C-alpha cells in the first residue's frame, strides 16, 4: 500500500520551520503540518505575502523573514530562533537568468544550496529531530559537479545546468550531513527527498516565453502540488523513515506517483565529492558545523 498523508501522526507539540513556505509545495506542506497540530514557522523573504497566506491556513502558523540570498539575513533569522523539531529546506529558484546574491554567489547555487547549508549549520544545535532537504530529478541533468568553479567565475552560464548543479548539491549535502551526524553519534537525522514534477510557481519565473507554456505541459506529465508535497511530509513526520533512502515518486520517469525509495545518479553517491562540496560550502559561507 502506498503511503498517504492521512498517515501523518499527530504533530501536537512539534515545531517546524519551512523555508519558502509562501508558495507551491511550501504552502501545501505548511497546511498539512498545521492541520495535524504542528506549529509551523513560514520562513520567507516576502513576509507580507507569507502573512496573507498564513491567515488562510488553520492552525498555529507564524511568519518570519528569511532571505536565503543574503547570509546576513540567514544569520539574523538563526539568531532569533529557539529550539524546534524539524527544518524543511524547501525554498528554491529554477532556471532563472544569471545574477548574483548579496554575497556574490551565483543565485541558483547561492539560494538553493549555500543559503540552506548556512541556515542548517547555524541552527543545528537547536534542531531536536531532523532536517529535510528538497532535491530534484533535475540533479541527473548535470554531467558533473564543477567543484573548482561552483560560482560560475570561469565558465559560461547555462541556467538549466546551474539549476541541476544546485539540486545535485542539495542531494549531496543531505547525504553528507546524515553521514556526519551518524559518525558523530548524533541522533538527529538528515533526509533528502524529491517532489517529482508539479506545476508550481517555479515554472513561471524564468523570464522567457517558456513561462507561458510550461505549466500546462507540466500538468500533463506531473502531479498536483498537493501530491508533490507528500515526500516532504513523509520524511518530516514518519518516525521510522530511513534517512539513508532518497524518497520521492518513481512513476513515469519519477515525475509522479506515491512516495517510494527512488534512485539517484551515480554522481550523487560520490562520497569524495560530497566531502569536497561540504568543504567548499564551509569556505564560501564561512559556516563551520559543530557535531
Please pick, among 163, 191, 246, 289, the residue that the annotation labels catalytic: 163
C-alpha cell at 220: 500533463
User: What is the DSSP-derived secondary structure letter of residue 100?
Assistant: B
Question: End-to-end CA distance of the chain, in Å?
Answer: 37
Strand partners of residue 133: 89, 192
CB 167 within 8 A of CB 139: yes
> Distance from CA of residue 77 to its chain's centroid?
17
Torsion (CA) 46, 134, 13, 9 in degrees, nearest 10? 130
- Catalytic residue at 191? no
- Give the residue from 175, 177, 192, 135 showing the smallest Cα distance to 270: 175
Residue count (the chain): 291
Annotated catalytic residues are: 163
Amino acid at each position: 500500500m502506498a503511503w498517504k498523508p492521512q498517515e501523518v501522526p499527530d504533530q501536537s507539540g512539534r515545531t517546524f520551520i519551512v523555508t519558502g513556505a509562501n508558495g507551491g509545495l511550501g504552502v501545501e506542506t505548511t497546511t498539512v503540518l498545521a492541520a495535524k497540530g504542528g506549529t509551523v514557522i513560514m520562513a520567507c523573504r516576502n513576509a507580507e505575502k507569507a502573512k496573507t497566506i498564513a491567515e488562510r491556513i488553520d492552525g498555529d502558523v507564524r511568519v518570519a523573514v528569511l532571505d536565503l540570498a543574503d547570509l546576513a539575513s540567514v544569520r539574523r533569522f538563526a539568531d532569533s530562533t529557539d529550539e524546534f523539531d524539524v527544518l524543511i529546506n524547501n525554498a528554491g529558484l529554477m532556471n532563472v537568468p544569471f545574477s548574483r546574491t548579496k554575497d556574490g554567489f551565483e543565485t541558483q547555487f547561492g539560494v538553493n544550496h549555500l543559503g540552506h547549508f548556512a541556515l542548517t549549520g547555524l541552527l543545528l544545535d537547536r534542531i531536536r529531530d531532523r532536517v529535510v532537504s528538497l532535491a530534484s530529478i533535475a540533479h541527473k541533468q548535470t554531467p558533473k559537479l564543477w567543484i573548482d568553479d561552483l560560482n560560475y567565475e570561469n565558465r559560461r552560464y547555462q541556467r538549466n545546468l546551474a539549476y541541476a548543479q544546485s539540486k545535485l548539491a542539495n542531494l549531496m549535502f543531505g547525504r553528507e550531513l546524515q553521514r556526519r551526524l551518524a559518525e558523530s553519534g548524533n541522533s538527529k537525522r538528515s533526509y533528502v527527498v524529491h517532489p517529482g514534477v508539479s506545476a508550481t510557481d517555479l515554472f513561471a519565473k524564468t523570464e522567457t516565453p517558456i513561462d507561458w507554456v510550461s505549466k500546462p505541459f507540466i500538468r500533463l506529465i506531473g502531479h498536483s502540488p498537493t501530491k508533490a508535497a507528500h515526500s516532504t511530509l513523509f520524511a518530516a513526520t514518519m518516525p521510522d523513515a530511513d534517512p539513508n533512502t532518497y524518497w520521492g515518486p518513481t512513476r513515469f520517469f519519477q515525475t509522479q506517483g506515491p512516495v517510494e525509495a527512488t534512485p539517484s545518479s551515480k554522481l550523487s553517491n560520490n562520497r569524495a565529492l560530497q566531502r569536497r562540496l561540504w568543504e567548499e560550502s564551509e569556505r564560501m559561507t564561512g559556516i563551520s558545523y559543530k557535531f
